Amino acid sequence: MTRNGSIGGLILVGVAAIAPLAFYLSLIGEPKAEKYGHLDVYNKAVASRQESSNRSRLEQRAEVERDSEIDWSTGEIKNQTRTISQRGLSLIQRYEGFSSTVYRCPAGRRTIGYGHMLTPGENFTRMSQEEAQNLLRQDVQSAENVIQRYVTVKLTQGQYDALCSFIYNLGEGNFRNSTLLRRINAGNFDEAANEFSRWIKANGLVLKGLQTRRAEERNLFLN
């Protein structure tokens, strides 16, 4: 009698432990998680929640989806669907400055608008501020693509904006091979923030403008 009672008790405990997870798996649809290969992330997210009778199923579902690093509508890391904010664009505009005519940047490249480097076949001679703003938005997409390609952890909007500015200024190659990227992908964000101040030279010379820009990018990254 005692032995059977003990076994019955163990079964009840096991069912009680599994029930909450099964409940949450039903909230946002386990097939999506399994389909996109993120079932482990999904299970971890939902298992961390405790069922509460005073919240609706929709509220619980929204909480699980909000806190997850995965966008459950696409199966992608949320960075891959994020875009630069106006704050990030304004930072780039402020430090690049606007020029309606072609000039040579500190690195010696022919440039116009908000830091747009002319490519072969481009024949800009003059540009309005509105045209420069539209061109900047197009150019920033390249930086966004770099983040999508190389960053493997979830970023805040501030971190994302700071990296867009950094990559727009320094290019894909410098970011791809940087200790900054390695620190980010390791989840060491405080150490990553300290890497910004290393990128303050052009043609071997320390530039005050780059020092100031890197400091602002670092602050944005940390906030």
Active site residues: 96
Q: Which residues of 115-124 are buried (b: 16+ CB within 10 A; e: fewer)?
A: bbeeeeeeeb
Q: Which amino acid is present at 43?
A: N
Q: What gap in Å lies between CA 195 and CA 20, rounded to an integer?
A: 43
Residue 125 φ/ψ, nearest 5 degrees: -120, -40
SS3 assignment, position 98 = coil
SS3 assignment, position 110 = strand
β-strand partners of 117: 111
Q: What gap in Å lies between CA 124 and CA 102, rounded to an integer?
A: 7
Q: Which residues of 149-176 are buried (b: 16+ CB within 10 A; e: fewer)?
A: ebbeeebeebbbbbbbbbbbbbeeeebe
- Residue 201, CB half-sphere, CA atoms under 13 Å: how many? 5
Residue 111 has which token pair?
């440039």
